[in-house]
Structure 1
Amino acid sequence: MRIGCPKEIKNHEYRVGLTPESARELVNNGHEVWIETQAGSGIGATDAQYVAAGAKVVDGPDPIFAECEMVVKVKEPQAVERAKLRADQILYTYLHLAPDPEQTRELVASGVTGIAYETVTGPGGQLPLLKPMSQVAGRMSVQAGATALEKAHGGRGVLLGGVPGVMPGKVTVIGGGVVGFNAAQMAAGLGADVTILDRSPEVLERVGTHFESRAKTRFSNAANLYEAVCEADLVIGAVLIPGAAAPKLVSREMLKDMQKGAVLVDVAIDQGGCFETSRATTHAEPTYVVDDIVHYCVANMPGAVARTSTYALNNVTLPHALRIANLGWKEALRSDPHLAEGLNVHAGQVTYEAVAKELGYDYRPVAEVIG
């Protein structure tokens, strides 16, 4: 199979879909790999390293979109990229379709076979291709929030860890999954006063046992959520409904009762955000203020630590890329029901139920597509 990896063009996105090491694995399995020139520059990977790995370096994205059977990326294709996709092509990347009707419409119109990292499952309902980026984003959320809390950045002027004689900052983490757990680890490590909210008793027991006295847990009902948000210096939104839009848990009305200069970090922004006032931002302009509350809603947070993120991502995406290339996408999905969960669109149809429901498309089950 001919596999192509274009350079990412989303604002301040420095990750790359294939590292030189991943390219070598594909080549060693008998496949042809095309890499756009300078695609790996954001992680310090040179064109020469890709050539040494057996890949072909091409000028610009056009040859890849025109001639490769599978396109491997990191972020969802931008409008100019979507216009190049075609019906006999496999797109393997993060898609996050539920909050993005324009992208969904154009992918459906293209006829492309879109396999989304974020809905590929693992044993026990895990999301293994989303997990490493959730770990990165969870840890980064505290760094970003701590910076935004500085007075020069519009925040309250609070140091999360405090100092002797001064109380530490209060951090509320909404959601105790992978993002929330990693955010709480970072915040607790800084010495902040951490509260984790979740609706699952099992999750609350797990995180409570892990953190012991270093973080508090609360059941996430309306009253507890309101109180924890309004008391916090930093609120981290870490909720996820796989493949679907995130629920809006913090309303604009709640902002007026928060402490002025408090910070909201919405890690769920890829799925539409879990704060009513959230809108996607970029690393170039990461924050904005609504009702005296600083919002940080960067949609590709892990892109800022591109080398760490790319290698963590390739560790989990490469095995599936190899399976698709070695077997063909249909047989790969037939033989691996977890990978089959990643199919979101195919031949002009939506094949992921949560996306179809969210955006009003007819749903065609994957089982019907792969036979």
Structure 2
Amino acid sequence: MDIGVPREIKDREFRVGLSPQSVRVLGDRGHRVFVETQAGLGSGFTDEDYRQVGGTVVESAAVAWEQPMVVKVKEPLPEEYGFLKGSGGDRLLFTYLHLAAERELTEALMESGILAIAYETVQLPDGRLPLLAPMSVIAGRLSVQFGAHFLERPQGGRGVLLGGVPGVPPGNVVILGGGVVGTEAARVAIGLGARVRIFDINLDRLSYLETLFGSRVELQYSTSLAIEAAVPEADLLVGAALVLGRKPPMLVSRELVHRMKPGAVIVDVAVDQGGCIETIRPTSHTEPTYLVSDVLHYGVPNMPGSVPRTATQSLNHSTLPYVLTLAEAGAKAIEMDEAIASGVNVRDHQLVHPAVREVFGDL
């Protein structure tokens, strides 16, 4: 199969859909890969790197997009919707989509007829999300890294060092959600020496986190009253709630944000699905933060794009087996692979993923 890899155009999105290593593997299997010029440059991969492994570098995004299969990292932006037109059901798009927060994109995909498979809803029989996990690990770790940075006074924060110093207590980190993102956020916050609290509604997950972190983390069952007591004390609040294919629940109201300390920081990793904090909205790497009630909000939906070399390689390690299956079987892969079938969001002009359909009941 011929595969197109367009250059990502989202603000400061430096990841690329396929690394040269992945292109080499696909070429060895008889597939041709057409990479838009400079698509990998932000991740440290030159056009010559792709040529040396058998990739074809093309000057036009349109050439990459016209291939039977397109592999990206982030969802198509409005400037790219034109490339979807006339797609037909024989063309495949394989990328992160996060349609629950993207009605316009959902409608564009349905109109095009393209077969759209979302990384974030590819699900194994045991419930794991193999293509969401690698970026969740990175986003979770970055949430505290960025949070610590924006807590610095020159960045608009409270001027709190999360680890504290002898004689001065550490900062308070409150994490809403104990999944992959929350776990990795806690790992970094503990390493910095912060006081860490994790809230989750899954008792089995809380038990697992106890075996992982022991007494270094305070683990609490998530209720509205417990969250209302903890959030005003937070120097850094991390939103890490995930509901597959749907918008996460609203866990922190505007009124509760108003009760937080001036200069506290919110990092909502769930912003790409709509966020779990009422005052959050998507921002960009160029302008990552804004203030509400003197609380600094960070809402960049493509956080791993800030560490593209690490993120691209990590993502490709997970996506390549599925790319190979799709390249060799095309749309028939849906019948062959249960995980790929679960990833289908749009097919034959229809919105087919059950969770996303619940969000857009009128489509």
Same fold (TM over 0.5): yes
Q: CA deviation at 1:257?
A: 1.4
Matches within 5 A, 1:213-252: 213-252=215-254
Gaps of 5+ in 2: none
Cα displacement string for residues 109-142 of structure 1 (whole angstroms, at most 9, x for unaligned residues): 1111000000001242010100000000000000
1:75 and 2:74 equivalent? yes
Cα displacement string for residues 31-88 of structure 1 (whole angstroms, at most 9, x for unaligned residues): 111000111101111111111111110002011223x000000000111212111123
SS in 2 for 1:155: coil
Alpha-carbon distance in structure 1 between the residues aligned to 2:100 and 2:326: 24
What's the counterpart of residue 7 of structure 2? 7
Alpha-carbon distance in structure 1 between the residues aligned to 2:331 and 2:17: 18
After TM superposition, the runs of 4+ consecutive aligned structure 1 residues lying more than 6 A away are none
Q: CA deviation at 1:329?
A: 2.0
Paired amino acid for 1:58: V
Alpha-carbon distance in structure 2 between the residues aligned to 1:220 and 1:275: 15
Alpha-carbon distance in structure 1 between the residues aligned to 2:213 and 2:254: 31
Q: CA deviation at 1:361?
A: 4.3
Q: Does structure 1 retain, via aligned residues, the 8 Å contact 2:5–2:65?
A: no
Alpha-carbon distance in structure 2 between the residues aligned to 1:80 and 1:152: 36
Paired amino acid for 2:336: S
Alpha-carbon distance in structure 2 between the residues aligned to 1:34 and 1:297: 33
What's the counterpart of residue 334 of structure 2? 333
SS in 2 for 1:226: helix
CA RMSD of aligned residues (A): 0.9
Gaps of 5+ in 1: 363-371
What's the counterpart of residue 49 of structure 2? 49
Cα displacement string for residues 210-264 of structure 1 (whole angstroms, at most 9, x for unaligned residues): 1111111001001111111111100000000011111111100101211111111
Alpha-carbon distance in structure 2 between the residues aligned to 1:83 and 1:172: 42
What's the counterpart of residue 352 of structure 1? 353
What's the counterpart of residue 31 of structure 1? 31
What's the counterpart of residue 59 of structure 1? 59
Alpha-carbon distance in structure 1 between the residues aligned to 2:256 and 2:153: 22
Q: CA deviation at 1:347?
A: 1.6
What's the counterpart of residue 152 of structure 1? 154
Alpha-carbon distance in structure 2 between the residues aligned to 1:203 and 1:300: 26
Alignment length (residue pairs): 360
Paired amino acid for 1:339: I
Q: Does structure 2 retain, via aligned residues, the 8 Å contact 1:350–1:361?
A: no
Cα displacement string for residues 3-44 of structure 1 (whole angstroms, at most 9, x for unaligned residues): 000100000000000000101111111111100011110111
Cα displacement string for residues 272-303 of structure 1 (whole angstroms, at most 9, x for unaligned residues): 11110110000100000001111001010000
Given the two structures, how large is their TM-score scaled by the length of structure 1? 0.96
Q: Does structure 1 retain, via aligned residues, the 8 Å contact 2:11–2:285?
A: yes
Which of the residues 177, 187, 203 maps onto 2:189? 187
Alpha-carbon distance in structure 2 between the residues aligned to 1:10 and 1:210: 36
Matches within 5 A, 1:305-344: 305-330=307-332, 332-344=333-345
